[in-house]
Structure 1
Amino acid sequence: MNITHHMSAASVRGSDITQVTCFCLFFSTALDMDYKVVFTTLDTVCEDIISNMCAPSDMPYGAVATRLVTCMKEIQEHGRVLEPVVAGFISVFHHYDFDAQTPGNGYRTLVKVLQSCLFHIIHKGRYIASNCNSAFFRAEHNASEMEAYCNALCQLRALLHLAQQLLNDNVRGELYSLPHTDLSRQFVQEYSSMHKACFYGRCLGFQFSPALRPLLQTVVISMVSYGEMYGKQQPGLGMAALSLLTSAKYVIDPELRGAEFERITQNLDMHFWKSFWNLTESGLLTVGTGFSRMASSPVQVNVTLTLPPVTLHVPLAADPRLTTTVSPPVAHWGPGPVHVRLISCELREGQDSEELLSFSREDPPSISVSQLPWVQKQPLSPWLLIHFHGGGFVAQTSKSHENYLRMWSKELNVPIVSVDYSLSPEAPFPRALEECFYAYCWALQHCHLLGSTADRVCLAGDSAGGNLCITVSMKALSNGVRVPDGVMTAYPATLLTTDASPSRLLTLIDPFLPLGVLTKCVNAYAGTDWGTVHPTMGRHSVSSLRRNTAVLLSDLTQGASNWISSFLEPGRTSGPGSPTSTMRRTQSNVTLRTSPDVSAGHHRSHVGYPEGFQPLRSECQAFVSLTSCPIIRNPFVSPLLAPNNLLRGLPPVHIVASALDALLDDSVMFARKLRDMGQPVSLTVVEDLPHGFLSLSQLAKETEVASSVCVEELRKIFQQESLKCSAQRSNGTKHTCD
């Protein structure tokens, strides 16, 4: 089921265009509209603005009017070229869906993103046409807004041309470029040179739900502020606080923010990304995390455990009287413990036992009600949920995902074991897989300590964690041990190669998954990014954030001085690699770069764009390291490439994907592969949300609904539907249960 079916726009006719345009602007139901009406409306709006700006008037902003006329003519040209392109995609993209009831693939997404951009242009254009003669009209601001969306439209036109090449060169129904083609390398080359800053400035997050855009702005401003200070001193609390002082200029200058974000995503190394992402662990970066933890469901059990590296003897699935040995994780540095977190909304038998608490890493263990005599201990649950967190294999822990895990535990009334596997690049493949598989087998053997009989066991994870859910199930299958009763993966990464697909073209515009960052994560997991591994570096990197008060005060003083000076001396550079006046290109300079003559000397494109068209180019090319290591095609790294014999026998797989996720095609193709093999699989596609929406589940209504979709998939695996129906009937609630 695609939950977006319940939010479809009606067909568009004549005078309804204004209301429907506004409706679609805020609810992103563009694909159900007549695309011809959208392009006709765009052309009309452009003509209105051109007529108003060219007509004799007393407007005091002649130069701005000239800019707007030039901009609207460019938008008109893009629109006229793109209309037949969109028509071509609409005629064929149903061939790439999972099934007729689940419309979703990268081609649909690209058209959806394009139409979102057009709706913003139409909305802004109508405002300009209606208010340009007003005394309160902000000419410079509105011209800059329209120019930013014109630049975004130009880049989207280039992406759609690349998608056309994929469509023409691939076998019908195949979303990924074929191994023998050069399309993937061409896309990486284009990504390296194409201008991306417009998508991180004024146009930031235009494709997502409006409720998420303030959050996106906060994330991007935090990142660029932190990135400006990165490298000037050792990472620490002082740098995080100092970043707050530098953030003001990025709030008031969207162009500067976009240029700096582009620089960071293209050029900073994995050290930076781990340092920034780990701020969520320390509580220093509270982009909603503080509120989420306060608002999240309280639980009675929340304890971290350390599993010792001892050999397990696990019953064989075929004959439980026989056992097989499961060795502790050994990759890269030998046997070592595995860290997990136990979360339970209610205290259950075994969870306060001395045997379990002997594994605890805390003193005293944080089982909040074990000492309260009036709290009744619940019996063992028949269900057990084992969770692997996301974070690109390089960042985050169970603590980062605690907000929605608490809610899941309460909604499903189930104990949850979340595995804190070792992170790359210090612990590349297969260390994380070994630790997750070991934790899974340990949980099966010690389920009575975790408050469960393990009658039904489910694996759940998001992104990289979704990959681990699938590969742990494959490993259980190949080792002959019990496989879980079901797997729920949210936006999983099932193909870690750099093969191009239509949804992966979104890495050019996605603030959560830029291609440069994605390839760094993949290289780290493959072990090609760092030459040295160490068992402790990745586990407690947050400890590097602790600094003494004297250093902190010194940092704050210096930061305040630099921040004030940046306003007093706007032309002065703030240090190597920081944003300077040279990065703040004017819109006219950017427009010049669209000329084939100008761009040809800077970048020789291997993509055959239509005559007279070239996308905008960046001042400096990015370096994107293609992953050529054969390990990336290992089926336990990229399960989409697994042979059928490794996948046959997997438990039912429930995939929840986002239509605007760059990894959407990973979900669609993996679901189709399982279905074609006869394996039980379901795919749900939610709309208007970015990659990683589970971590945002309590920050917007849309993400809360998407998280509830995941809960319902888990409920199916645990076979709780009948219990839910019984409870609703006893409460007098009307509910239809299939």
Structure 2
Amino acid sequence: MTDFEKINNTQQTNESTDNKSDNIKILKNLCGKNAEYFAKDSSENGQRLYISFLAIIDTLNVLYPQVLEVESRVSEFDLDESTPGNGYRSFISIFNMSVNYAIDLNQKILWRKNSILFRKTVLTKELETCSQLMSSLCTCFKHLQTMMLWSKEGNLFIEDKPLEEIRSVCENVNQYCFYGRSLGFQFCDSLKNVLQFIALSMAIFSEAYYSKGSLFSKATSSFMTTTKYITDPEQRAKRIVNISQNADVDFCKAFWFLSESELMNQLPSVVSPTVAVCKVINISPEPLHIVVEGKEIEVPVPTSYLGPKPIQVRLISYNNRKGMLGTKSYSNLEAPSRGLLIHCHGGGFVAQSSKSHEGYLRDWAKNLNIPIFSIDYSLAPEAPFPRATEEVFYAYCWALKNHEFLGSTGERIVMAGDSAGANLLFSVILKCIHTGIPIPHGMFAAYVPTLVKFVPSPARLLCMMDPLLPFGFLMRCLKAYACPSEVKRISNGAIVNFETDLDSFEEVSESDLAELQAHKSPVSEASDTLTYGSLTSNVDDVNDRDATSAEIEKSQKYMADIVHKYVLGRDYLGSMFSSKYYNSTSSAGEADAETEDTKVPQADTESCTSSVDSSFQTKLFGFVSNIKGHFSKMLGEHGGSDMILETDKPNTLWDDLCFPVPNNPYLSPYCASDEDLKKFPPTKILTVQMDPCLDDCVTFAKKLRWVGTEVHLDILEGLPHGFLNFSLISRDAHEGSKLCMQRMKELLNIHPESIKSNK
């Protein structure tokens, strides 16, 4: 670091400290004035307000020195001077936001305390939540100070104390305050309402998922609890914390499966760009050989846990291209693309699919203008490590060998994944290095966990307040994936793919491709069908842009009405659970003109309106019954209905989660040797400031840079882990997705007009 940089950083630190000091003085002054006023109020709420104001002042006197101590060393843990970011910085930002939150609340009370419209009861609860939040942060910073003392040479992971510290935090921190009235205060405004809705949905869904008795008794009891969670944020917070502590991995899968619902599957065709190709392909588990420099390398067929099974992938392309599967009869085909994107979705290794990530993938397909090959790997706990890695590796090798059938010349093949999907792709790169298979030309990873092990780091403490990735969810997902000996096996060992009955796919074997490659002249549609195998659905292949304008207008108008009324409007919560969206069917002729594997319910605007007027509870339990029906087929009866979660007393996780995790580089890329990391392709990593996996990203980027591998790290503010799934409904998340596209363009060496991004 140059002298100028040192001076500049010192000035910035001093300015930041001065701003904090000013805000602390303002907050203490406001608390003092309000405390003086309410000290004379003998009512219960008046005295509760008075005590809360004093508690905030007392907490600040302890908390602020802790923050300054952590801040004095925080730069030691950054990747470099131009990329400030780590878990310590994240907590400092949370402290700053909590101070601003407290100032705004104090000003509101100060200005309205003499008004006849002063809502004393509501503001009392809000101030108590604010006071508890400050107290919880004080506990967190105490542990951060300890972790900073334990850290070695700027390492964010405390590897010699694997569980005790994070256990202590979980037991001592009051988590309720982060999931009640202040839920989502640390995120951008465009996502706060979304996150609050998700938290509310989780609480309501858990009541139905774990309820007992008849449908009538369920509806009667749940009506009261649903109303309670909507009107009482404190009860909702208790429920969410208890869910995160007690719910099993089956509940996590069921809740995250909501993103696969029929209505959510319709959104990409309305909001995202129209694509020419969006089809599912099943790759037969046959022997596969890759020739590298004259040497033939055999790619093993995935067999772990489930035996040989077809691997499902999704091909998305903005244009029909020469050589692409299913385009023989089309005219005016685009030339094969130079690039190809190999994509793996996130979902904690246990949930989601390429379908639930289709929204932003369509946008990527248009802006990158290359085919996207998205892999639907088998999910834990039925398919734990290393099954998913085996499948993704096999699918990558298949794409490497058969890229021309995907509409690409294969000149630039880049991998891209988020969260668990990025972890799997890093593992595949390691397998390529070890087996001699050509590695991709670049790797893009979004908020990726690189150390799948219970090792404390400051960012991992963010799970204590994360509405999308609570600590219990994270731990149980990792356990389901990383510890096969702990897995509950299902009787038939099968994995059920939650594709709609209109998903068209083609099953492709090596013999099919060899026969196709032998054709030098155009063939008929009949021979095309024979070559690729029969479709299991009743839908013919549909080209989005060949559909009639009337079909497009009809489907888009209908879905636009749904989005306007139920997604963007106040009735969204009710319509979300309408059984009509899950049980309706449509004929092949009425298939959505924008994609091959979506369908539009046969309903007009009036029927949609009437569905909203029906009972919310009937819709909710009809929807949950449908969900349970799907999961009973896949998992068998999990007995969740016999487990009633306590509302007021969460149980501990530790008896359930104390188990060893192997130091396997295919499981944790952070454990890879320096020799292997030197062979990695250019890597772009993007994460967010409030991500529990932030330290994983920063530390892994440090390791790559240390061995000389080209690496770039972006850290965005205001967005949560998994923000790509919200890019259709949040402007800030969409801007983050645009930056992802820019980084992938750099890896692909694509140089059209650059995408602007607000970092």
Verify the 8 A CA contact 2:415 2:442 in the aligned structure 1.
yes
1:310 corresponds in structure 2 to 286
1:293 shift after superposition: 4.5
After superposition, the Cα gap between the structure-2 partners of 1:543 and 1:531, relative to the gap in structure 1 and judged at 3 Å, is farther
Counterpart among 272, 276, 290 of residue 296 in structure 1: 272
After superposition, the Cα gap between the structure-2 partners of 1:541 and 1:559, relative to the gap in structure 1 and judged at 3 Å, is closer
1:698 corresponds in structure 2 to 728
- Residue 657 of structure 2 aligns to a residue in which SS? coil
After superposition, the Cα gap between the structure-2 partners of 1:293 and 1:38, relative to the gap in structure 1 and judged at 3 Å, is farther
1:701 shift after superposition: 1.4
Verify the 8 A CA contact 1:344 1:409 in the aligned structure 2.
yes
After superposition, the Cα gap between the structure-2 partners of 1:147 and 1:519, relative to the gap in structure 1 and judged at 3 Å, is same
Provide the aligned length of Structure 1 versus Structure 2.
Answer: 621
1:595 corresponds in structure 2 to none
TM-score relative to the length of structure 2:
0.76
Structure 1: which 5+ residue stretches go unaligned? 1-7, 14-29, 355-369, 561-573, 584-617, 729-734
Q: Establish whether residue 38 from structure 1 lines up as the match of residue 23 from structure 2.
A: yes
2:315 corresponds in structure 1 to 342
1:283 shift after superposition: 2.7
The one-letter code of the counterpart of 1:468 is L
Q: What do residues 300-349 of structure 1 show as CA deviations (whole Å, max 9, x unaligned)?
A: 10000000011111122xx2x22201021111232221110000011111
- Alpha-carbon separation, structure 2, partners of 1:353 and 1:541: 23
1:576 shift after superposition: 6.8
Q: What do residues 559-615 of structure 1 show as CA deviations (whole Å, max 9, x unaligned)?
A: 69xxxxxxxxxxxxx9973566xx3xxxxxxxxxxxxxxxxxxxxxxxxxxxxxxxx
The one-letter code of the counterpart of 1:685 is I
1:324 corresponds in structure 2 to 297
Matches within 5 A, 1:239-388: 247-283=226-262, 286=264, 290-316=266-292, 319=293, 321-353=294-326, 376-388=332-344
2:657 corresponds in structure 1 to 626
The one-letter code of the counterpart of 2:133 is A
Q: What do residues 228-253 of structure 1 show as CA deviations (whole Å, max 9, x unaligned)?
A: 111336999x9999979953331111
Verify the 8 A CA contact 1:292 1:699 in the aligned structure 2.
no
- Alpha-carbon separation, structure 1, partners of 2:66 and 2:198: 34
Matches within 5 A, 1:105-124: 105-124=86-105
- Alpha-carbon separation, structure 1, partners of 2:213 and 2:80: 52
1:530 corresponds in structure 2 to 487
1:65 corresponds in structure 2 to 46
1:212 corresponds in structure 2 to 191
1:641 corresponds in structure 2 to 671
- Residue 180 of structure 2 aligns to a residue in which SS? coil
TM-score relative to the length of structure 1:
0.78
- Alpha-carbon separation, structure 2, partners of 1:435 and 1:234: 41
Verify the 8 A CA contact 2:245 2:651 in the aligned structure 1.
no
- Alpha-carbon separation, structure 2, partners of 1:235 and 1:543: 29
1:548 shift after superposition: 8.8
Matches within 5 A, 1:138-537: 138-179=119-160, 181=161, 184-192=163-171, 194-232=173-211, 247-283=226-262, 286=264, 290-316=266-292, 319=293, 321-353=294-326, 376-526=332-482, 527-532=484-489, 537=494
After superposition, the Cα gap between the structure-2 partners of 1:559 and 1:381, relative to the gap in structure 1 and judged at 3 Å, is closer
Verify the 8 A CA contact 2:223 2:617 in the aligned structure 1.
no
1:676 corresponds in structure 2 to 706
1:194 shift after superposition: 3.8
After superposition, the Cα gap between the structure-2 partners of 1:528 and 1:576, relative to the gap in structure 1 and judged at 3 Å, is closer
- Alpha-carbon separation, structure 2, partners of 1:494 and 1:673: 11
1:217 shift after superposition: 1.1
Matches within 5 A, 1:44-63: 44-54=29-39, 62-63=43-44
Percentage identity across aligned positions? 34
1:94 corresponds in structure 2 to 75
Q: Which deviates more, 108-117 or 193-202?
A: 193-202
Verify the 8 A CA contact 2:59 2:135 in the aligned structure 1.
yes
1:203 shift after superposition: 1.1
- Alpha-carbon separation, structure 2, partners of 1:163 and 1:346: 51
1:190 shift after superposition: 3.5
- Alpha-carbon separation, structure 2, partners of 1:109 and 1:269: 29
Verify the 8 A CA contact 2:321 2:407 in the aligned structure 1.
yes
1:724 corresponds in structure 2 to 753
- Alpha-carbon separation, structure 2, partners of 1:37 and 1:528: 55
- Alpha-carbon separation, structure 2, partners of 1:33 and 1:432: 50
1:371 shift after superposition: 6.7
Verify the 8 A CA contact 2:306 2:493 in the aligned structure 1.
no
The one-letter code of the counterpart of 2:249 is M
1:724 shift after superposition: 3.3
2:506 corresponds in structure 1 to none
- Residue 357 of structure 2 aligns to a residue in which SS? helix
- Residue 506 of structure 1 aligns to a residue in which SS? helix
1:78 corresponds in structure 2 to 59
1:70 shift after superposition: 0.3
Verify the 8 A CA contact 2:339 2:371 in the aligned structure 1.
yes
Verify the 8 A CA contact 2:453 2:661 in the aligned structure 1.
no
After superposition, the Cα gap between the structure-2 partners of 1:94 and 1:235, relative to the gap in structure 1 and judged at 3 Å, is farther
Matches within 5 A, 1:14-25: none
Verify the 8 A CA contact 1:192 1:624 in the aligned structure 2.
no
- Alpha-carbon separation, structure 1, partners of 2:339 and 2:620: 55
1:577 corresponds in structure 2 to 644
- Alpha-carbon separation, structure 2, partners of 1:655 and 1:241: 49
1:556 corresponds in structure 2 to 618
- Alpha-carbon separation, structure 2, partners of 1:686 and 1:143: 34
After superposition, the Cα gap between the structure-2 partners of 1:668 and 1:235, relative to the gap in structure 1 and judged at 3 Å, is farther
After superposition, the Cα gap between the structure-2 partners of 1:624 and 1:407, relative to the gap in structure 1 and judged at 3 Å, is farther
After superposition, the Cα gap between the structure-2 partners of 1:696 and 1:558, relative to the gap in structure 1 and judged at 3 Å, is closer
- Residue 82 of structure 2 aligns to a residue in which SS? coil
Verify the 8 A CA contact 2:318 2:369 in the aligned structure 1.
yes
Verify the 8 A CA contact 2:664 2:671 in the aligned structure 1.
yes
Verify the 8 A CA contact 2:665 2:671 in the aligned structure 1.
yes
1:457 shift after superposition: 0.3
1:118 shift after superposition: 1.3
1:628 shift after superposition: 3.2
Verify the 8 A CA contact 1:121 1:149 in the aligned structure 2.
yes
Verify the 8 A CA contact 1:242 1:559 in the aligned structure 2.
no
The one-letter code of the counterpart of 2:347 is G
- Alpha-carbon separation, structure 2, partners of 1:377 and 1:52: 76
1:291 shift after superposition: 4.0
2:635 corresponds in structure 1 to none
After superposition, the Cα gap between the structure-2 partners of 1:676 and 1:521, relative to the gap in structure 1 and judged at 3 Å, is same
After superposition, the Cα gap between the structure-2 partners of 1:548 and 1:235, relative to the gap in structure 1 and judged at 3 Å, is farther
- Alpha-carbon separation, structure 1, partners of 2:214 and 2:255: 9
1:277 shift after superposition: 1.1
1:11 shift after superposition: 8.8
1:523 shift after superposition: 0.6
